[in-house]
Amino acid sequence: MSSHGSSRFDTPGWRFAGAIVSWVLFAFFFLGLYQTAAVVIGLGGFCASGGAFVIETECPEAVVVFAPLGIFGMFAAAGVALFFARGFGVSLVAWAWPILFVGLGIQFILGAVNGVGIVSNIIVGVLFIGMGLAPVGFVLSSKAVAPTLVGSVSITGARFQYEGKARRYFGLTPTEAQEVTTPTTIDWVIALGLWVVSVGLGSWLSITAFNALATSG
């Protein structure tokens, strides 16, 4: 039953939809969290909402919404990528961690540059950026960049052939029953094109929603 249900989604249409939806969701929630961090840092690093006590610094409505939902939304995006994209397109699972930590690290550094919690923000910012770049360095040293950008399979499900460390790192060892091919220029254009469109759409929706919540408060 589970095998049949799984194969039902192993089609070009589902891979296409999964690649788009996962990156739209990730961009939406990541940028919402990124904007939330900018607002909170600008308020001095702390704000609160609700409760029975008098609150010195009230959190804007946009922060109240995106702060708790951001991380869960990004986990949901990773789930969509794993279950539906199935290795097709730019790997959200590979790039989510670096984007999240490097992005937030930059936000902390910007806070320090603007004179807010200079020492603490620099320390946290550098720590976050280091945590985000660590897996990128590992991928680069393993010469496994291509599978993270074009995917491990084509949109039709054909397994891409990778050699050496890249193959071991991503577990890309096809069985004899699998069709094996090399990524073509068209594969690269489709993967990167969908990524650009998806991230652009998710970012626009996130900025629009964040601004709408900010002005409503």
- Domain residue limits, the chain: 2-216
Per-residue pLDDT of the chain in tens (217 residues, 90 and over written 9)? 344 455 787 899 999 999 999 999 999 999 999 999 998 888 877 777 655 454 567 788 888 889 889 999 999 999 999 999 988 999 998 899 999 999 999 999 998 998 887 888 899 999 999 999 998 888 887 777 888 899 988 999 888 887 666 655 555 555 544 567 889 999 999 999 999 999 999 999 999 999 999 887 5
Evaluate whether 181 touches 154 at the Cβ level (below 8 Å): yes
Residue with tokens 């702390």: 46
- Amino acid (1-letter code) at residue 58: E
Contacts of 112 (CB under 8 A, 6+ apart): 118, 119, 121, 122, 125
Strands 159-160 and 180-181: parallel
Residue with tokens 């050699």: 163
**Distance in angstroms (rounded) separating the CA atoms of residues 84 and 9:** 6
Take residue 172 and report the two structure tokens written for it.
Answer: 């890309």
Take residue 85 and report the two structure tokens written for it.
Answer: 């994209």
Residue with tokens 């060892």: 173
Helices and strands, number each (H, E), in the chain = 8, 2
> Counting every residue, how long is the chain?
217
Take residue 148 and report the two structure tokens written for it.
Answer: 């993270």
The residue ranges of DSSP E strands in the chain, in sequence order, are 159-160, 180-181
Torsion of CA 186, 191, 196, 201, to 10 degrees: 120
Predicted TM-score of the model (pTM): 0.86
